[in-house]
A and B are shown apart, each in its own frame.
Chain A
Amino acid sequence: MKRRRYDPIDLEVLWNRLITVVDEAAYAVIRTSMSKVVVEGRDFGALLLDPRGRLLAADVSIASKTGTISVAVKEILKHFPAATLKRGDVLVTNNPWWIMGHLNDIAVIAPLFHRGRLVGFAECMAHMPDIGGSVSGRPREVYEEGLIIPPVKALEGGRENPLFFAMLGANVRVPNQVTADVRALVVGTSVMEAKLSEFLAEQRMTSLEELGEAIVSRSRQAMRQAVRDTIPDGDYEGSASVDGFDQPLHIHARLQVRGGDVHVDFAGSSPQSDQGINCTLVYTAVWSTYTIKCLAAPHVPNNEGTFSSIRVTAPAGSFLNPRFPAPVRMKPASGHYIPEAIIDALKDVVNERIVAESGNKFLVDFAGRDPAGRSFSDLMFIMGGMGARGRKDGLHCMSFPANSSNLPIEVLESTIPVRVLHKRIRPDSGGAGRYRGGCGQEFAFQSVSPTPITVRATHGKLGTAPNGLRGGMPGAAGAVFLNGKPIPDKVPQVLNQGDVMTLVVPGSGGTYPPSEREKAAVRRDVENGIISAEAAARDYGV
């Protein structure tokens, strides 16, 4: 085979084209999915891997699942060796210890063939609107959280495995939606195969081997260089805490940075919980690598090389690396705060690349049955403030660190029998500072369903105010109310017709002392109702 050398322009173009191949798969998923959590919330992902299971490209333009090295393909190849796979085979699993950390995320994995030869794998995954299990109780094991799908063939040689689809459909509340969404993921892999084949034919390439090697090695270099430029060698420690159930959970991060390599270890973090707020190690790694990439190298594309210089460990049996069968379904309620601990560790050395603590988001699960007996089940996100940055104000109601989109009110009301009463910015919830924190919001909705609806609002850190950094003030904390009475988050509630749930999402912290803020910016905020006149006088002396 002719050895191909890539000049920087060739490589950039081919690389971007490969990312476009993955993007097209991602578009196909949202265009064929039947769930609002995928279409509107964008809670899904598409990955292209090489025949050994190394990540080559990930969609980051539409999908919001942030990447890390894929464990799923490597694990699944142990059960189904590559040599045994045929064109049209599609494997499926939702093992939380391999994918994104809870049963709701299903991944389908398809071998990609070009001219009869295995050239890679497509992995598409999405958050399902339901995965069965208990919605009313407080599961203490993953078994209670829904259907566990071992690695099986959902399609064999292009034909659906009826047993798999029957088992799946029988175990979830909205079988049409869930089976349609798994098929949407399969569509994603089919589109990826077709587009990849087109790409290879056009480029007269027979495999992705050399291009993949170039991509991975360049990214590895770029990532290590970026870390060297951003984080001086040394050991750093930081911590954060989340509400937990009966007692707070403590995240303790220790970073060893050596010449561009980073080892993040979570020794000293709380032991695993008997409630579903544990993060499998895969998921812990997602947020650790994500944070380091944000701080050091936001523009290096996602692939094996980007993440290979970051090693993440946590003691087995801690809530950041729990043992099977720990319950895990509310992993965002703890995992979304891992970035806080890492930023806390690095806050003094990364110059302006900081974000004060954010207000995060509520994940709101709905489940119920209409009077005709039809089931409904879906998920939406309600965002809090994104913390002030090192050079800029924070952003109001902005999805950070996890990125997803809100559910338009009109789509929500057409899907779930609720009426939204208001959705508004909470003035004064952004912490004061030279750069003001982004504000949170208040979101109130009422059940209009004659039958009960089970609603679970999960946040994770409502009780403590999000802190500021470098002299910035904290933002406002959050709360949940049912008919005006405070209730805990993470606990399923039954709403009868007329009941009102109010979600008060935290704001976020400011950066640098408020006295350094430009007076004109303070006045503009007052004029637009982002801060009150009292707060302007109290915090800024304006």
Chain B
Amino acid sequence: MKKGRLSLGVDIGGTFTDFALMSASGEVRAAKVLTNYKDLAAAVLEGVRQLTDGAPAARAAIERVVHGTTLATNALLQRKGARTALLVTAGFRDTLELARESRFDIYDIDIELPSPLVPRKHVFEIEERVGHDGEVALPLREEQVKSVIRSMKEQKIEAVAVCLLHAFRNPAHERRVAELLAKELPGVPVSISSDVMPDIREYERASTTAANAYVQPAIRGYLDRLEAGLKGEGVEAPLSIMTSDGGIVSCATALRYPVRLIESGPAGGAIASAFYARETGIERTIALDMGGTTAKVCVIDAATPEQATEFEVGRVFRFAKGSGLPLKIPVIEMIEIGAGGGSIAGVSRLGLLQVGPDSAGSDPGPACYGLGGTAPTVTDADLSLGYLDPRYFLGGRMALDRDAAARAIEGQVARPLGISVARAAWGIHEVVNENMARAAKVHCLERGKDAREYALIAYGGAGPVHAYRVAQALGIKTIFYPVRAGVMSAFGFLVAPAAFEMVRADLSPLESADTARITAFLREMEIEGKKLVSTCGVPASKLSTEIEANLRFAGQSFELPVPVRGALGKAELAKIKHRFFELYQARYHRLSRDVPVEIVSWRVVVKGPRPKASIHFSKAADRKALKGRRKVFMPEAGAFVSCPVYDRYALGPGARLRGPAIIEEEESTAVVGPRAAIRVDASGNLWVRRP
């Protein structure tokens, strides 16, 4: 790798930790190591060593480290976060338990709901009351708070969320409770709702705040170790963190709002997909990111991933909307499915083959890793079907045990169902693909989109292995396998802008808005945002600020965001109102100009420039493209067939092939079915067209 300034992207997934190291000229090197749950930072340091070939000079040349992790998501999905307490206003212990009291499916009487992150026994009531206007109706009784804290101590609480009624209007009580907690429970992180998500509706706010607390200890411990570890390896560059909306923030900001990291890894993948969509001119793409634990699906139109202001984590019932936990955070819109290489297969009580959402992760991992895992997983099935080369997993750095995979599948799937190991392995492969396809279809349909009109971008360690069959199930013809598909999120971190979004609730009629006061706090927000973003190493001169006013007709409950373009004053207010009318008319086709318009909140986004990147691919000239042939299972033949195996690094731009084919790279393997047309573009990306 050439000398000069380097940027490093690091993504910790549930199974692998991925690295992308990019030089100023756009050359990207990748690495992938097993995630080490006992010491997450250790895997990062190992990867850094691998990538820099042990050269301290290269490490010193790293001037930017951008990091993301799906740890928070995994902790929520698998309910493996901290032992969290929730403090609520007396009388409202059941806020989380009761949610919105509605069924997400009107007709299905068998629906299930996600269990709250904080069980009822760990919810404590605080005697206080703030009214809807922010006035204190019942002052806080500090003695009572202290006695609650004592009970929490006995229960060995590890993290605390505080969500008091109307705290978004007046945060005084929450702040005081936080002070008392800091004093009486030193070291236990505290999240207060008025800081994490200052918006009306107590259930959604409590759910978001509880999630913030639930993942905080794990994230904190880990980021601390990582920062120290990197310094120890001679990497002096500050650590920046990817957030769920595709922006980058400093470590300190991430520690305060870990709930905003929930989708950081997948956000990186979506940003990278958008980068490729822009570079290659694909109009409509569905990004499929399949890793070791979960798969994520994101719809990208016009090279822009869809954004949302809320996110539902862990849908527990048939991927149904409403069956997960709501989080109010800025996020790239995508869905997450419990389907990954580590997803465990088994036979359900109904005698049906079931795959996921439980995962073997990387510890003990799939049976074929030989690390003590005995449960059959998707990776075990992929290996048994010949899709993976036991001697070329991770480029040969990890040997897979084919017999162990077969034993696990035989014992826990084939024998109980009375079928062959091969049939069972294909069944596992097919069921997990169907799970992903079904979820993707629902996601598209909810948006009124037809999956068949899209191209599929496949990445993540297991994405390329499964993409062809998922595309088939979705009726998608074109599949795109970007270079470095195995470290896509880490690469996305490198092309994402530094950014931070802030929202401030401030209800006021538009006509009589106090523009001087608003300008003052917007200025404060902008300064704060610039401070937060410039800690990511972006010079202040390169930062841009976007301001939006969220407006509605007085009495409504939903707002439309309207851009603010000039200095706030009478003239700009009139323009804002005009823009609101235009947007409203376009969206709803009707308008009543006589109803007063009100401003509900202000949104300020401070953003750095999108880092320039031009991916540079050099073909490995010294290697033969055809590595050999091996027996792989192709359902079209209903049997194992002899299939050519190619070295992706030796396939130069312009190369054309025909399926069936196995195309291997270090981080992943693309499995392509019979009669498909395969070509390699100038940047080294693979394009597959299904027959």
B546 contacts the other chain (CB 8 A): no
Once A414-B200, A528-B119 are accepted as A-B contacts, the answer to whether A33 and B557 lie under 8 Å apart by CB is yes
Contact flags A1-36 to B (C-beta < 8 A → 1, else 0) = 000000001000100110111011000101111101
A423 to B90: give the CA distance in the assembly, Å.
Answer: 10
B590 contacts the other chain (CB 8 A): yes
A521 contacts the other chain (CB 8 A): no
Minimum CB distance partner of B113 in chain A: A395
Looking at the complex, which one of A42, A187, A421 makes contact with B588 (CB distance below 8 Å)? A187
B622 contacts the other chain (CB 8 A): no
> How many Å from the CB of B198 to the closest CB on chain A?
12
> How many Å from the CB of B291 to the closest CB on chain A?
28
Chain A residues with CB below 8 A from B121, complex form: 527-529
Q: Are A21 and B98 in touch, CB under 8 angstroms?
A: no
Most buried by B among A28, A398, A413: A398
Chain B residues with CB below 8 A from A39, complex form: 556-558
Looking at the complex, which one of B108, B119, B120, B553 makes contact with A298 (CB distance below 8 Å)? B108
Chain A residues with CB below 8 A from B90, complex form: 422
What's the dominant secondary structure at chain B's contact region? Answer: loop
> How many Å from the CB of A535 to the closest CB on chain B?
16
Chain B residues with CB below 8 A from A176, complex form: 555, 595
> How many Å from the CB of A8 to the closest CB on chain B?
11
Interface residues of A in 31-52 (CB under 8 A from B): 31-34, 36, 39-40, 42
Q: Are A423 and B200 in touch, CB under 8 angstroms?
A: no
A167 contacts the other chain (CB 8 A): no
Contact flags B76-103 to A (C-beta < 8 A → 1, else 0) = 0000000000000011111101101111
Chain A residues with CB below 8 A from B103, complex form: 386, 398-400, 403
Q: Are B590 and A410 in touch, CB under 8 angstroms?
A: no
Of the 9-residue stretches A59-67, A209-217, A273-281, which lies at the interface with chain B? Answer: A59-67
Chain B residues with CB below 8 A from A530, complex form: 120
Looking at the complex, which one of A19, A353, A441, A527 makes contact with B94 (CB distance below 8 Å)? A441
A66 to B102: give the CA distance in the assembly, Å.
Answer: 13
Contact flags A425-454 to B (C-beta < 8 A → 1, else 0) = 100000000000000010000000000000
Q: Are A299 and B107 in touch, CB under 8 angstroms?
A: yes
Chain B residues with CB below 8 A from A410, complex form: 132, 165-166, 200-202
A82 contacts the other chain (CB 8 A): no
Chain A residues with CB below 8 A from B166, complex form: 410, 413
Interface size class on chain A is 35 or more
A118 contacts the other chain (CB 8 A): no
Q: Are B200 and A424 in touch, CB under 8 angstroms?
A: no
A190 to B587: give the CA distance in the assembly, Å.
Answer: 10
Chain B residues with CB below 8 A from A386, complex form: 103
Looking at the complex, which one of B101, B203, B448 makes contact with A397 (CB distance below 8 Å)? B101
A406 to B321: give the CA distance in the assembly, Å.
Answer: 18
> How many Å from the CB of B124 to the closest CB on chain A?
13
Minimum CB distance partner of B168 in chain A: A410
Q: Are A191 and B445 in touch, CB under 8 angstroms?
A: no
B110 contacts the other chain (CB 8 A): yes
Interface residues of B in 98-147 (CB under 8 A from A): 98, 100-103, 105-113, 119-121, 129, 131-132, 137
Chain A residues with CB below 8 A from B475, complex form: 9
Interface residues of A in 76-132 (CB under 8 A from B): none
A48 to B612: give the CA distance in the assembly, Å.
Answer: 48
Q: Are B556 and A34 in touch, CB under 8 angstroms?
A: yes
A413 to B113: give the CA distance in the assembly, Å.
Answer: 27
Q: Are B98 and A293 in touch, CB under 8 angstroms?
A: no
Q: Are B98 and A396 in touch, CB under 8 angstroms?
A: yes
Chain A residues with CB below 8 A from B202, complex form: 408-410
Q: Are B102 and A528 in touch, CB under 8 angstroms?
A: no
Q: Are A13 and B450 in touch, CB under 8 angstroms?
A: yes
B589 contacts the other chain (CB 8 A): yes
Q: Are A194 and B589 in touch, CB under 8 angstroms?
A: yes
B446 contacts the other chain (CB 8 A): yes
A353 to B110: give the CA distance in the assembly, Å.
Answer: 8
Looking at the complex, which one of B91, B100, B137, B557 makes contact with A405 (CB distance below 8 Å)? B100
Contact flags B433-473 to A (C-beta < 8 A → 1, else 0) = 00000000000011110101000000000000000000000
Q: Are A409 and B108 in touch, CB under 8 angstroms?
A: no
> How many Å from the CB of A40 to the closest CB on chain B?
7
A242 to B93: give the CA distance in the assembly, Å.
Answer: 32
B592 contacts the other chain (CB 8 A): yes
Interface residues of B in 553-592 (CB under 8 A from A): 553, 555-558, 587-590, 592
> How many Å from the CB of A439 to the closest CB on chain B?
10
Q: Are B101 and A398 in touch, CB under 8 angstroms?
A: yes
Q: Are B165 and A425 in touch, CB under 8 angstroms?
A: no
A61 to B93: give the CA distance in the assembly, Å.
Answer: 29
Chain B residues with CB below 8 A from A32, complex form: 553, 556, 558, 588
Q: Are A20 and B448 in touch, CB under 8 angstroms?
A: yes
A66 to B103: give the CA distance in the assembly, Å.
Answer: 13
A542 contacts the other chain (CB 8 A): no
A411 to B103: give the CA distance in the assembly, Å.
Answer: 20
A349 contacts the other chain (CB 8 A): no
Minimum CB distance partner of A181 in chain B: B555
A355 contacts the other chain (CB 8 A): yes
Chain A residues with CB below 8 A from B112, complex form: 392
> How many Å from the CB of A382 to the closest CB on chain B?
8
Q: Are B555 and A34 in touch, CB under 8 angstroms?
A: yes
Q: Are B200 and A187 in touch, CB under 8 angstroms?
A: no
> How many Å from the CB of B482 to the closest CB on chain A?
27
Looking at the complex, which one of A177, A355, A397, A411 makes contact with B109 (CB distance below 8 Å)? A355
A183 contacts the other chain (CB 8 A): yes
> How many Å from the CB of A158 to the closest CB on chain B?
9
A297 to B107: give the CA distance in the assembly, Å.
Answer: 8
Chain A residues with CB below 8 A from B448, complex form: 17, 20-21, 24, 195
A23 to B558: give the CA distance in the assembly, Å.
Answer: 17
Interface residues of A in 134-155 (CB under 8 A from B): none
Once A13-B450, A180-B595, A187-B590 are accepted as A-B contacts, the answer to whether A409 and B92 lie under 8 Å apart by CB is yes
> How many Å from the CB of A286 to the closest CB on chain B?
12
Chain B residues with CB below 8 A from A13, complex form: 445, 450, 452
Chain B residues with CB below 8 A from A391, complex form: 110
Q: Are A420 and B102 in touch, CB under 8 angstroms?
A: no
A381 contacts the other chain (CB 8 A): yes
Chain B residues with CB below 8 A from A19, complex form: 445
Looking at the complex, which one of A16, A40, A392, A421 makes contact with B557 (CB distance below 8 Å)? A40
> How many Å from the CB of A168 to the closest CB on chain B?
14
Q: Are B557 and A66 in touch, CB under 8 angstroms?
A: no
Interface residues of B in 465-492 (CB under 8 A from A): 475
A81 to B453: give the CA distance in the assembly, Å.
Answer: 40
Q: Are B558 and A30 in touch, CB under 8 angstroms?
A: yes
> How many Å from the CB of A525 to the closest CB on chain B?
10
Once A31-B556, A424-B91 are accepted as A-B contacts, the answer to whether A60 and B98 lie under 8 Å apart by CB is no
Once A187-B588, A294-B107 are accepted as A-B contacts, the answer to whether A406 and B101 lie under 8 Å apart by CB is yes
Interface residues of B in 42-63 (CB under 8 A from A): none
Contact flags A281-320 to B (C-beta < 8 A → 1, else 0) = 0000000001001110111000000000000000000000
Looking at the complex, which one of A381, A408, A441 makes contact with B200 (CB distance below 8 Å)? A408
Q: Are A353 and B109 in touch, CB under 8 angstroms?
A: yes
Q: Are A441 and B132 in touch, CB under 8 angstroms?
A: no
Among all A-B residue pairs, the 9 with the closest Cβ atoms: A422-B91, A298-B107, A190-B589, A34-B555, A20-B448, A405-B102, A528-B120, A39-B557, A413-B132
* Known contacts A30-B558, A186-B590, A408-B202; 8 further A-B pairs (Cβ under 8 A): A13-B452, A33-B556, A298-B108, A299-B108, A389-B110, A398-B103, A411-B201, A425-B98
Question: Can you name 17 A-B residue pairings with CB atoms under 8 Å?
Answer: A31-B557, A32-B556, A40-B557, A61-B321, A298-B105, A353-B109, A389-B110, A403-B103, A409-B92, A410-B165, A410-B200, A410-B201, A413-B132, A413-B166, A423-B91, A425-B120, A528-B121
A residues whose Cβ falls under 8 Å from a Cβ of B: 9, 13, 16-17, 19-21, 23-24, 28, 30-34, 36, 39-40, 42, 60-61, 64, 66, 176-177, 180, 183, 186-187, 190-191, 193-195, 290, 293-295, 297-299, 353, 355, 381, 383, 386, 389, 391-392, 395-400, 403-406, 408-411, 413-414, 419-425, 441, 527-530
